[in-house]
């Protein structure tokens, strides 16, 4: 069994390297929607692997191995460069306020020249730093504070925004939240999913919303799948959401039609925020 697992892992690693060389990776985008008017305010860039034999491979199947082998840095940089290019094009073609969220790993941030590569990717794409939100998990943020925080402050000073992804699943404290260069909290999908199951999930969401207000941070909820969750989040004052209730992650070509149609307003017509917009 151990030999089989090792062989499978080795095979997947070879295929990952081959996929990177042959351009099998793509960037999909999940819309982030304002609960005030149903407008798409931004997108989260998510990597997908279109394997030559297996078809579309979900990130959970290959990202852990990519992180173990160091290939995650190449994947991260590919996603960043492609996302900046696509969003810069959308901003030039009528969606001037569009923002893109890209996920950062500790490997990427800790690399020498991270800030310089970020600036270079912006310059090549033509995207302004104000159009970028860099997402980092609590656990990543706490790994090497002395190295990570100064770099995040540098990119923030350029105009980019910093978001804590999967908030509530890590171990950062309120004291750290006040000190870190953070603009946005993203409520983890596990808490949003609990809104339809029991009261404890709602209590956690309420606490995170109150915390964001107290710290004057923007708030985005992930993994919103139905109108019950949508309405509850709106009632609590959550400004933006993303999830299957609006759209899964889409290839760039499909997302363009979503942006043009502005089809999400009808889903939030009965939300408290829409009523006062």
How far is the first Cα of the chain from the last one, in angstroms, to the nearest whole number? 59
**Confidence (pLDDT) at 264:** 81
Report whether 220 contacts 184 (CB < 8 A): yes
Distance from the Cα of residue 221 to its chain's centroid = 11
List, for residues 71-96, the tens digit of each pLDDT value: 998 999 999 999 999 999 999 998 98
Q: Take residue 277 and report the two structure tokens written for it.
A: 């917009």
List, for residues 95-145, the tens digit of each pLDDT value: 988 999 999 988 888 888 999 999 999 999 999 999 999 999 877 777 778
* Residue 174, pLDDT above cutoff 70: no
Output the pTM of the full model. 0.87
- Averaged pLDDT score across all residues of the chain: 86
List, for residues 195-236, the tens digit of each pLDDT value: 765 555 688 888 889 888 888 999 999 999 988 898 889 888
**Confidence (pLDDT) at 27:** 96
Name residue 51's beta-bridge partners.
Answer: 55
Secondary structure of residue 55 in the 3-state scheme: strand
Mean pLDDT computed over 6-22: 85
**Confidence (pLDDT) at 262:** 74
Percent pLDDT > 90 in the chain is 45
């Amino acid at each position: 069994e151990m030999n089989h697992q090792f062989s499978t892992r080795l095979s997947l690693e070879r295929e990952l390297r081959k996929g990177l060389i042959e351009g099998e990776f793509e960037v999909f985008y999940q819309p982030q929607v304002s609960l005030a008017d149903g407008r798409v305010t931004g997108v989260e860039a998510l990597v997908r692997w279109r394997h030559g034999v297996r078809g579309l491979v979900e990130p959970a199947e290959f990202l852990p191995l990519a992180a173990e082998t160091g290939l995650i840095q190449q994947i991260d940089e590919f996603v960043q460069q492609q996302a900046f290019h696509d969003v810069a094009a959308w901003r030039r073609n009528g969606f001037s306020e569009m923002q893109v969220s890209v996920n950062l790993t500790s490997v990427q941030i800790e690399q020498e020249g991270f800030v310089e590569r970020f600036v270079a990717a912006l310059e090549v794409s033509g995207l302004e730093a104000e159009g970028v939100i860099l997402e980092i998990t609590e656990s990543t943020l706490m790994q090497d504070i002395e190295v990570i925080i100064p770099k995040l402050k540098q990119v923030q000073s350029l105009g980019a925004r910093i978001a804590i992804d999967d908030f509530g699943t890590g171990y950062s404290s309120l004291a750290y939240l006040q000190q870190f260069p953070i603009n946005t909290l993203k409520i983890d999908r596990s808490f949003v999913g609990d809104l339809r199951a029991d009261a404890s999930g709602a209590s956690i969401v309420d606490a995170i919303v109150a915390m964001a207000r107290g710290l004057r941070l923007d708030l985005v909820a992930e993994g919103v799948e139905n109108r019950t969750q949508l309405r509850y989040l709106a009632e609590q004052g959550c400004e933006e959401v993303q999830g299957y209730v609006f759209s899964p992650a889409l290839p760039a070509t499909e997302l363009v039609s979503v942006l043009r149609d502005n089809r999400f307003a009808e889903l939030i017509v009965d939300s408290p925020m829409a009523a006062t917009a």
